[in-house]
Structures are given as C-alpha cells and as structure tokens.
C-alpha cells in the first residue's frame, strides 16, 4: 500500500495504491479521517500543487495519524492565541 496526501482550503485528498493497483482518490474535510470506502477509482485529483503536498504514507492509519497531529497543532495554536 502507498498513499500520497495533499491539503488545501479545508480539504484533504489522498491518492492510494493497493498491491500496485490504483485504489483511486479520496477527498474529505480536513477535520475528518480517511476510510477505505472513501477511495474511488474514477475520482480525479484536484490540481497537484506543490504547496499543498504533505507527503507519502504507508497506510490509511499513517494518513489519519498525520491529520490528527495537524489538528492538535492547530488547536494548540488557536488556544495560545485565545489566551493572549
């Protein structure tokens, strides 16, 4: 398995392969998490902008872990601003 992850404008999208066969593309809200049923072979990626590219991941769990880490960092930053 292998996945590429992009994020921009409140959306996260991933392109995945499973045993060298394309799984397709999944597009979700950046506050949600990926599930295998989200991937559709006929769905196309939005424009592949380099600024939106996050990286490559080995599994859906790794994708979701990255989303959780980013959500925690955003929450901490908002909390720090609120305290000021």
pLDDT per residue over 29-80, tens digit each?
988 999 989 999 888 877 766 668 889 999 999 999 998 887 776 655 555 5
Q: Find the mean pLDDT for residues 12-27.
A: 85
Domain boundaries, the chain: 2-83
pLDDT of residue 43: 84
| 8 Å CB contact between 11 and 29 | yes
Distance of alpha carbon 66 from alpha carbon 63, whole angstroms: 5
31 within 8 A of 38, measured Cβ to Cβ: no
pLDDT for 10 beyond 70: yes
Note the pTM of the prediction, 2 decimals: 0.74
Mean pLDDT of 11-15: 90
């Amino acid at each position: 398995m292998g996945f590429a992850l992009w994020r921009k404008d409140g959306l996260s999208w991933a392109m995945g392969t499973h045993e060298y066969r394309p799984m397709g593309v999944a597009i979700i809200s950046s506050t949600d998490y990926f599930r295998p049923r989200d991937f559709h072979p006929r769905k196309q990626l939005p424009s592949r902008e380099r600024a939106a590219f996050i990286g490559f991941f080995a599994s859906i769990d790794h994708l979701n872990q990255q989303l959780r880490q980013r959500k925690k960092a955003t929450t901490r930053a908002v909390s720090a601003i609120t305290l000021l």
